[in-house]
Chain A
Amino acid sequence: MVLLLQSRDQQAFSYLYDNYAEALNGIIYRIVENRELAEDILQEAFVKIWNNFSNYDTAKGRLFTWMLNIARNLTIDTLRSKGYKKQAKISSDENSVSNFTDDSNVAERFDAMGIKKQLVNLKPEQRNIIDLAYFNGYTQDEISKEMGIPLGTVKTRMRAAIIELRKMLEYS
Chain B
Amino acid sequence: MNIKEIISSGMLELYVMGLASQQEIREVEAWAKQYPEIAAEINAIASGLESYAQAHAIAPDASVKEKILAKIKDETVKPFTRDNGDVETAKVYSISPAWKYAAAASIILLVGSLIFNYTWYKKYDTANKDLQLAQTELQQQKELAQSMDTAMQVMGDMNARTVAAKSIDSTVNMEARIYWMTNTSEVYIDPSNLPKAPAGKQYEFWAIVDGAPVNGGIIAEVNGKKVRLQKMKSFGKAQAFAISLEDAGPAKTKPDKVMAAGNI
Residues of A at under 8 Å CB distance from B?
3, 6-8, 10, 13-14, 17-18, 21-27, 29-30, 38-39, 42-43, 46-47, 50-52, 54-55, 57, 59-62, 64-65, 68-69, 72, 77, 81, 106, 109-110, 113, 115, 119-120, 130, 133-135, 137-140, 143, 155-156, 158-159, 162, 165-166, 169
7 closest residue pairs by CB, A with B: A155-B10, A22-B57, A159-B10, A26-B56, A26-B58, A25-B60, A166-B48
Q: Which of B17, B44, B60, B83 contacts A39 (CB 8 A)?
A: B60
Main secondary structure of the interface of A (DSSP, over half): helix
Most chain B CB within 10 A, of A10, A65, A165, is at A65
Considering only CB atoms and an 8 Å cut-off, how many residues of chain B contact the other chain?
49
Q: Which of B9, B58, B73 contacts A29 (CB 8 A)?
A: B58
Q: Which of A25, A81, A120 contacts B57 (CB 8 A)?
A: A25
A119 to B50 Cα, complex, angstroms: 13
Q: Does B132 sit within 8 A of A, measured CB to CB?
A: no
**Residues 180 to 202 of chain B near chain A (Cβ within 8 Å):** none
Would you mind naming 30 contact pairs between A and B with Cβ atoms under 8 Å apart?
A6-B82, A8-B77, A10-B73, A14-B69, A21-B64, A22-B54, A22-B59, A23-B50, A25-B57, A25-B59, A42-B60, A43-B67, A47-B68, A55-B89, A55-B92, A60-B29, A61-B16, A64-B46, A64-B50, A68-B53, A115-B51, A115-B54, A119-B51, A119-B52, A130-B52, A134-B17, A140-B19, A159-B9, A159-B10, A169-B47
> Are A7 and B82 interface neighbours, CB within 8 A?
yes
> Are A23 and B47 interface neighbours, CB within 8 A?
no
Q: A54-B82, A134-B49 are in contact. List 20 more A-B contacts (CB 8 A).
A: A10-B69, A18-B65, A22-B58, A25-B58, A26-B53, A43-B67, A46-B68, A47-B72, A51-B72, A54-B80, A64-B53, A68-B53, A106-B55, A113-B55, A115-B54, A134-B52, A140-B19, A158-B14, A162-B13, A166-B48
Chain B residue contacts of A106, Cβ below 8 A: 55-56
Q: Which of A55, A64, A158 contacts B10 (CB 8 A)?
A: A158
Q: Does B97 sit within 8 A of A, measured CB to CB?
A: yes
B119-162 vs A: 1/0 string, CB under 8 Å?
00000000000000000000000000000000000000000000
